[in-house]
Structure 1
Amino acid sequence: MSRKPKINFLSGYSPELQQQAENLIDSGKLPDYLRKRYQPGHSIVGSKALYQYTLELKNRYLRQSAPLNKVEYDDRIDVIHNALGLHTHISRVQGSKLRSKKEIRIASLFKQAPEPFLRMIVVHELAHIREKEHNRAFYKLCQHMEPDYHQLELDLRLYLTCLERFGPLY
């Protein structure tokens, strides 16, 4: 009988990695591990700044993609039970034309999170502009935009676990 992991955010990872994370949690060293790796905060706290930040990444890596209509922080995204960010693609017929809007919403938690975690979420949502599903091409695109994508994703999951278990880091 396999045991259920103590760490909800790491359930898809190997049992060995989960055990390493559990050891960090049990010893109380997880907050120190994250503090050593990531500096606190960033200056991208408003939705206007977030839009500019996202647009710079999009223009650097996805120039040929459709424009973004809106990028904003969203207080309604429940990180623990739902998602970290959302992307929407809305098509509407206006007269004889088809109008398309692309929006990205990022959980407000990332206003206080270290900047690499914000970048990882923005990259993830931008990748959905080209790749709708979480498939090999999607993750390859994420790694093209952020070479440390997989490490950041793992550390973000540890960060969320840390917030849940120990409270704010900084």
Structure 2
Amino acid sequence: MTSTLPPYLAAYPANLTEPVARLLAQGRLGEALRRKYPAAHAIRTDRALHDYVQALRAEYLRNAPQPSKILFDGKLQSVGRALGTHTRIARVQGGKLKTKHEIRIAAVFREAPPEFLRMIVAHELAHLKESEHDKAFYQLCRHIEADYHQLEFDLRAYLCHLAAGGPPLWPATP
């Protein structure tokens, strides 16, 4: 049954993925996610995202480098590739090596629950301190968002819903 799921959930055990596959096959995965996460966050602009990320960085990672750019990126293909990206750009200026950090969040998450946005931001902020996806990295993610692993699983389930042709669950209200 799990073979019908996209690769987002491939690393998870069958006892976790089978209920998702069952709900997806019944066309009820979106409904289950909407019940668990009823509302979208209110962060719609790049400026609001910048302020949100900086507030989390100030609260949890005061000594982390300051990102030079934080924005929603319409070019990130979250369903096929990445939820967000953290980029380090090193340049030589004069006799010094300067490093800039950029955080880009896939634009599809402009309309998502606040829990999903916080999980993605926690992930990208953790990259300011830890470059590899190792134990220290995930400990830092959990420091910023205690429910990090559950939220990541639920977000991956949402991506399965979208990949199966389901509509966005938290569309922007006009």
Read off the aligned partner of 1:91 and give its amino acid letter.
Answer: A
* Residue 91 (structure 1) shift: 1.3
Give the distance between the partners of 1:44 and 1:169, measured in 2 at CA. 16
Where does residue 167 of structure 2 map in the other structure? Answer: 167
| 2:88–2:102 CA contact under 8 A, matched in 1 | yes
Is 2:55 the partner of 1:56?
yes
Alignment correspondent of 2:20? 21
Give the deviation of 1:159 after TM superposition: 0.9
Give the AA of the match of 1:7. L
**Contact 2:79–2:162 (Cα < 8 Å) also in 1:** no
Gaps of 5+ in 2: none
Deviation at 1:162, TM superposition (A): 1.4
> Which secondary structure state, in structure 1, belongs to the residue aligned with residue 4 of structure 2?
coil
After superposition, where does 1:109-148 map in structure 2 within 5 Å?
A: 109-148=108-147
Q: Secondary structure at the match of 1:133?
A: coil
Question: What is the distance in 2 between the residues matched to 1:51 and 1:162?
Answer: 28
For residue 76 of structure 1, give the secondary structure of its aligned residue in structure 2: coil
Per-residue deviation, 1:96: 1.8
Contact 2:30 2:161 in 1 (8 A): yes
Provide the C-alpha distance between the structure 1 equivalents of 2:38 and 2:71, rounded to a whole number of angstroms. Answer: 23
* Structure 2 partner of 1:7: 5
Return 43-52 or 91-100, whichever deviates more.
91-100
Q: Is the 8 A contact 1:87 1:102 kept in 2?
A: yes
Deviation at 1:101, TM superposition (A): 0.6
The correspondence of residues 87-98 of structure 1 with structure 2, limited to 5 A, is 87-98=86-97
**TM-superposed deviation, 1:28:** 2.3
Q: Which runs of 5+ in 1 are unaligned?
A: none
Deviation at 1:82? Answer: 1.4
- Could you list the structure 1 runs, at least 4 aligned residues long, displaced by more than 4 angstroms after superposition: none
Q: Distance in 1 between matches of 2:15 and 2:2?
A: 13
Aligned-residue CA RMSD in angstroms? 1.3
User: In structure 1, what is the Cα distance between the partners aligned to 2:92 and 2:21?
Assistant: 52
TM-score by length of 1: 0.94
Distance of aligned partners of 1:117 and 1:26 in 2 relative to their CA distance in 1, 3 Å threshold:
same
| Alignment-derived partner of residue 151 in structure 2 | 152
Amino acid at match of 2:34: R
Quote the Cα distance in structure 1 between the aligned partners of 2:3 and 2:113. Answer: 26
Distance of 1:91 and 1:32 partners within structure 2 = 45
Deviation sequence 1:54-113 (CA, Å, 0-9, x none): 000001010011111110010110112211101011111111222111110000001111
Deviation at 1:30, TM superposition (A): 1.1
Moved more, 89-98 or 43-52: 89-98
